[in-house]
Structure 1
Amino acid sequence: MTITSDQTPHTLESETETRVSPAVREQLPSRRTLRDRWCALEPLTRRTAADGPTDAVMDPTSRLLAALLSLVPLPLGLLARATGAGTLGSVLLAVFMTVGFGVAVVSLVPRLTRLGFVVYAAASGLAVTSAVGYAMALTGLWYPRVAFAVAAVAAAALLVRAVVVEARRVSAGRPRTAHHRPAGATRDLAVVGALAGLGTVLAAVDAATHATLPQPSGLLGTVGPLWYVGYALIAVSFVVALLRRVLVAAPVLAAGTVVILSQALLYEAPTVMAAARHIGIEQYVLGFGRLDLAGDIYQGWAGLFVGGAWIAASTGLGSLSGLLGIATWWPVVITPITVAAVRLLAGRFLDPQRAWIAAAVFALGDAVNSTYFSPQAYGFLLAITVLALLVAPPATDGLDERALRRVRLTRWGVALGLSVAVTVTHQISPFMLAFALIALVAFRLVKPWWLPLLAIVPAIGWAGFNWRLIARYINIGDLGAVLANIAPPEHPVSAAPVAAVTRLAFYVPAAALVVFGIVALVTVLQRRDRLHWGLAFAFVSPVGLAFGTNYGQEGVFRIVLFAAPWLGVLVAAALPTGFGSLVAERAAGLGRRAVRTGAAALAPVIALGFAAMMAVNVYGQTGLDWARILRPGDAQVTSIYEQRAVFGSMLFSLGTKNATPARITDRYDQVDYSSRVRVDGFPTTTGSAYDPVADLNQVTYTLQSTPIRGDVYLYVSDSIGGYDDRYGLQTWNDYQRLRAAVADSPYWVEVGRSDTARLYELKRDLQADR
């Protein structure tokens, strides 16, 4: 990676001291201040061919194909809807509203790499849906299909324009901009891609044929042998890529996505229970056609929800099952794009092969289902995209000063637009983005100095506008309490032990991250240059969150998420430049013997580490499926409660509320939820010493004597039993005895059921006594 001045280019990889061009040095006073020396540092510049392999600018043929493929879902979707294939048509139109809108916007931007085109198109498509959804929901002018018609015509016009422009460039015979790969490299890339693709397909087919409700053994104990064959093929493709010294892009994307894809096909449901609350906000917007900024914090930061509601209303996916489907497939789509965004960011500092390895560290190190249907996943993707956009300038060779200024203004404008989208979607993501930019600016890895303001100003402004919503979450005692704020969530004390699988699902991925952290630390201490110190400070910058809040005892998970991309960059930076790249080795004139005894000697170690991280990732992601998965039957029962209950009613989860898909309809703000955490706690006995009837009677007495404005309901489900068993709150056997006691109780009447849950209402005469 190079940082250059007008006079003396040099390489940051080997930089050991601050170097300033002679022209700049002559203009400085003899006794320079710290500010003078900081200003004299040259910011990060674009990688060039002299630095090693770089990403090629996208050629006209590829841009033409992208525009054509993005345009196709619109007519096909409309045709499918007109001919009665409603579900297929809805999916195609939803694809056009994200992919098509994004490609239409990005088609106006020249000189993008293929990877940049994909990432910026995805981010732009999401930002467009949020912007249009917000405009309608804030004004109350909720006309989703009219807005879709206008936006679709505009997007289609831009795509047709792109097709015409790029077709002319292709017919004019303009040279393709591409890497000059050595003979056989293209074939090797195809082999690697085929292996990774075949492995993904085999795993997906096996998961689809074993579709079921979550089981105690999780995904690994539910799928068949074919799934393991497919998963192993992905690891093999990575090894082949290293041995043939071609890009590991396909194996990394496959490994980062296949587990989440398998969960979607196996369970046909969202992977995290909190997705229900997010569906509820969408239902609210669909039902009322507006936001209530005086309501709750979700209404104030609704970028994901209003965009999702607009897509659902325009495509016919607005039913509960349709919204559950969107939430189920959201992580399957967003995960590879997020991995690609991290790769794009890493490519600003590293050659392509090491940048993909950095993306692999991020993809496989993330083992806590962080890309589920949530504002956090949306905000994180856009934040990483903004960083990739600002960290280094794009290819501007041959442009005059006026054109260069236009390119800079475009980058800053797009970055501001995406920052605003982050700001109105998630409370902490814009501040995490600002922390990273501050670290990079401090080490002069980016310029100008005011770039962090692109994130800070909108974030502070929006927080001030919604101060009444966030004031209740701010605790003066949390300010400066860093250690307390990064402590993981605590669970109530009970008589049951925490399951070993639960401890391992958290401790094993955490141990892997610690190992990566040690590698990153060694890298920084060995290099001790401005680049790596800047990356190190960007890595620790998310800790800034812990100085202000514990974020509902989830701050540590958010800190790890935003630190992970920088961790990947530092780990990959430990490898020699051009590691595993046939292009780099040929460019450097290295012979086969030198290659085998040099950088290629690391290949077995890297391959073994990749395979180990794949095992860690799949275990961390799926070990707690029994407790985490949002079962459709559970959502059906809680929606019955919300639609049936009168204003002020309360649903009591007979166990933890963490396993309850709460607030899932447009009436979520008219009813309430509670659980054993808030009322009486969990049983202190287990096994033969536990009396379920006495336990239920105590719970019933407490609820009967509690002042509640509406009716009282009781909720039991397989999810609660699985969650409480895994986290040591109550054993599965004890919970089944308690469920049987509820069914036999004279105090509760069943009013709703599904294959996984039951809903009971406290008898009217007991409620009257309250």
Structure 2
Amino acid sequence: MGKLQTLTSGRVASFTSAVARWPGSAAGERPRPDRITARQWTARLVLPAALALWLLSLRHVRLTEMRDYGLLQVLPVLFWVALGLLTFGFCLALTDRRTAGGWFAGYVLGLVAVIHATPTLLYPTLRYSWAWKHVAVVDAVIRHRGEVPHADKLALYNQWPGFFDLNAFFLQATGLDSALGYATWTPPVFNAVLLAPLLLLYRTVTRDRRLIWGAAWVYYSCSWVGQDYFAPQAFAFLLFVTVIALVMGQLPTSALYGASDALKDRWPVGRFVLVMVIAAVIISSHPLTPLMLISALVVLSLPRRNRRAVLPVLAGTVLLTVAWDATVARPYISENLNDFLDALLKPDTNVVSGLASLGTAAPGHVVVAWVDRGLSAAVFLLAAIAFAARPWVRRTSLPLLVLAPLPVLTANAYGGEMIFRAYLFALPAASLLIAALFLKPGSRPRLHVLAAYPLLLALLAGLMFGYYGKEAANYFTKDEVSAGRFVAATAPPGSTIVSLTSAVPGLYLHYDENTQVQLDEQDIGDRRRLVNDPVKGLAGFVQRATPQEPAYVILSRAQAADIYQRGVLPGDTVQRMDSALSKNPDYFPVYRTKDAVVYRYQGARSGTGS
């Protein structure tokens, strides 16, 4: 017994000593009740002023003028002034150790609002075609009271239905008609809610409020990937950060570890059950996030001191994932097993993946892509510099979490998006490392923070390119929405719905009843035939059309913008198809506005359609 007490006392003293060397661990961190200084008054006045300027800047934005750079080229100067002022006020707040957490929260949530609520406030309809697709899946789940039959390529969602089932339950419990009503606000709400687990994660590493809130600011300044819309990935990522924060708080090196928590790395039953429930929801909602979670838990278990806390969660997560994949997700796993094995044998192909292009990507789109890569590289470079320059971060598990997504990156291409997802999952940990660079503890914090102001502006500039630069194709007008709803309301079951790209709102509203054909996903030969002769190029996709089960071809402004940006087809494809179909007697327009046209085809009458 005496030996156990000696070991425990030594262990607590060692960890307490280590924590005491971390920034913000010393006593006296709470704000003192001194008089409010001029600097504090300035920081408090800048926040409402910046938000007021932001709202004023949104009054006269001409969305129809978006081209290569999306929202970047139509937002007024006042918007950028407001963003710069908001960043300056946040830096000013960081220079004072007495700044209360409420003001930091106001600034970070203000940043979330400026970045993520701007499209919501400006656009008349739901942003991004995949968000529309997920709304359609929820509606189908409600119609069929569970698994959706005849789901075709969306059958994947039947095997990871957690997100959709939860939304269906919410709609039925509240009496709402569709998720469309609240899906519009998903990006700002998701990012605001994500702040809680981010803060929980950062508090396991340091008690310095300035460092914690600085890391949160860096995260939102660099999260350009855009996986925050109405989607299973956003939901699963939120839960992923929550699990990692709870596990990090259980580690013996956590900044929350104290003398009263001598055996803290032994899980309380209730907390362990909570973590396993969250892991189960992740596993049932998204195929990729469980792999990222397992990878993160594996690297966290590498230090021997962490294993007592991490291994039970790792074992439970692996067991639940294997059980799910062997039962509910077995059809998808079995069908794609060979592709998974090929990806493991060719890891280099997982980093870069995509379709061959028949056109040329827009110059602005190329610039946006390079800025995205530059920002991503800068994040990892700054994190590496922090690892070298700030010895205290090496005693944390943050560097391990930054590297955790790399094994998954080499395992599968995930439709060409794996490199972006790896960046997304590494960003929470990398953000605190970066914050540690410009919040170096010392006698001159004001100089360090104000010197970092240009860096924070540069990170935000990179984010704006990645997050706003493609909005010409993500934004839908009311006319485009009306065209999609027209097809959904009039197309008989068994119809074929043809589009050039996925940039069509409501394209999948009845995906369980109709066949969807997306021409930019077809092989290179089919796309070449379409470019050479639109009518003959369509023939193979609409050949089964009859008067009872016709085919509909949707052409729209957003599809033209999407094609122009990515160059997957020649930039004038929409115009050429519209011209060719309007001259062919077998295709007749049944809906036309300035932004969209719908052609109906029900079989060749004169032989010209074949």
TM-score bin (small chain)? 0.7 to 0.9
Partners of 2:177 and 2:333 in 1: how far apart? 29
Match of 1:750 in 2: 589
Partners of 2:307 and 2:22 in 1: how far apart? 19
How far is the alpha carbon of 1:416 from its aligned partner? Answer: 1.3
Match of 1:374 in 2: 231
Equivalent position amino acid for 1:280 in 2? A
How far is the alpha carbon of 1:365 from its aligned partner? Answer: 1.3
Please list, as runs of the form range in 1=range in 2, the aligned pairs for 1:265-664 lying within 5 A after superposition: 265-292=121-148, 296-319=155-178, 323-350=179-206, 351-393=208-250, 408-443=268-303, 444-445=305-306, 447-448=308-309, 449-466=311-328, 467-474=330-337, 475=339, 476-487=341-352, 489-494=353-358, 496-526=359-389, 531=394, 534-575=397-438, 578=441, 595-596=443-444, 599-653=445-499, 655=500, 657-661=501-505, 664=508
Aligned length: 583
Query: Is 1:232 aligned to 2:94, yes or no?
Result: no
How far is the alpha carbon of 1:529 from its aligned partner? Answer: 7.7
SS in 1 for 2:404: helix
How far is the alpha carbon of 1:626 from its aligned partner? Answer: 0.4
How far is the alpha carbon of 1:517 from its aligned partner? Answer: 1.6
Worse-matched range after superposition: 202-211 or 512-521: 202-211
Partners of 2:143 and 2:223 in 1: how far apart? 35
Equivalent position amino acid for 1:601 in 2? L
Partners of 1:292 and 1:702 in 2: how far apart? 27
How far is the alpha carbon of 1:283 from its aligned partner? Answer: 0.7
How far is the alpha carbon of 1:293 from its aligned partner? Answer: 8.2
Match of residue 9, structure 2, among 6, 9, 14: 6
Give a deviation string over 1:605-664, Cα, whole Å, max 9, x none.
3111111112221222111100223555434433433443344432221x3x23234653
Q: 1:553 to 1:225 in 2, by over 3 A?
A: closer
Contact 1:445 1:534 in 2 (8 A): no
Worse-matched range after superposition: 567-576 or 274-283: 567-576
How far is the alpha carbon of 1:520 from its aligned partner? Answer: 2.0
Contact 1:211 1:267 in 2 (8 A): no
SS in 2 for 1:673: strand
Match of residue 699, structure 1, among 511, 529, 537: 537
Contact 1:520 1:571 in 2 (8 A): yes
How far is the alpha carbon of 1:310 from its aligned partner? Answer: 2.7
Equivalent position amino acid for 2:423 in 1? V
How far is the alpha carbon of 1:430 from its aligned partner? Answer: 1.8
Partners of 1:619 and 1:505 in 2: how far apart? 6
Partners of 1:329 and 1:228 in 2: how far apart? 22
How far is the alpha carbon of 1:249 from its aligned partner? Answer: 4.2
Match of 2:4 in 1: none
Match of residue 261, structure 1, among 112, 117, 130: 117
Q: 1:604 to 1:343 in 2, by over 3 A?
A: same
Match of residue 220, structure 1, among 72, 77, 90: 72
Partners of 1:641 and 1:513 in 2: how far apart? 40
Q: Percent identity?
A: 21
Contact 1:235 1:611 in 2 (8 A): yes
Q: 1:469 to 1:677 in 2, by over 3 A?
A: closer
Which structure is richer in relative contact order (CA contacts within 8 A, separation 6 or more)? 2
Match of 1:761 in 2: 600
Q: 1:661 to 1:186 in 2, by over 3 A?
A: farther
Match of residue 673, structure 1, among 496, 501, 517: 517
Q: 1:291 to 1:522 in 2, by over 3 A?
A: same
SS in 2 for 1:652: strand
Equivalent position amino acid for 2:475 in 1? I
How far is the alpha carbon of 1:344 from its aligned partner? Answer: 2.4
Q: 1:441 to 1:398 in 2, by over 3 A?
A: closer
SS in 2 for 1:659: coil
Partners of 2:369 and 2:257 in 1: how far apart? 46
Match of residue 58, structure 2, among 195, 199, 207: 207
How far is the alpha carbon of 1:683 from its aligned partner? Answer: 5.8
Please list, as runs of the form range in 1=range in 2, the aligned pairs for 1:25-40 lying within 5 A after superposition: none
Partners of 1:754 and 1:762 in 2: how far apart? 19
TM-score (norm 1): 0.68
Partners of 1:729 and 1:625 in 2: how far apart? 17
Give a deviation string over 1:579-611, Cα, whole Å, max 9, x none.
7xxxxxxxxxxxxxxx23xx4332233111111
| Gaps in structure 1 of 5+ consecutive residues | 11-20, 22-41, 57-176, 580-594, 685-690
Partners of 1:375 and 1:746 in 2: how far apart? 43
Contact 2:351 2:413 in 1 (8 A): yes
| Gaps in structure 2 of 5+ consecutive residues | 1-6
Q: 1:536 to 1:398 in 2, by over 3 A?
A: closer
Give a deviation string over 1:380-402, Cα, whole Å, max 9, x none.
01110111112124969797999
Q: 1:750 to 1:609 in 2, by over 3 A?
A: same
Contact 2:534 2:576 in 1 (8 A): no
Q: 1:435 to 1:643 in 2, by over 3 A?
A: same
Q: 1:244 to 1:330 in 2, by over 3 A?
A: same
Give a deviation string over 1:501-544, Cα, whole Å, max 9, x none.
21222221321221232222233345678945843232111122
TM-score (norm 2): 0.84
How far is the alpha carbon of 1:669 from its aligned partner? Answer: 5.0
Give a deviation string over 1:36-62, Cα, whole Å, max 9, x none.
xxxxxx7xx899778553699xxxxxx
Partners of 2:219 and 2:86 in 1: how far apart? 17
Equivalent position amino acid for 1:508 in 2? V
Contact 2:12 2:262 in 1 (8 A): no
Contact 1:383 1:429 in 2 (8 A): yes
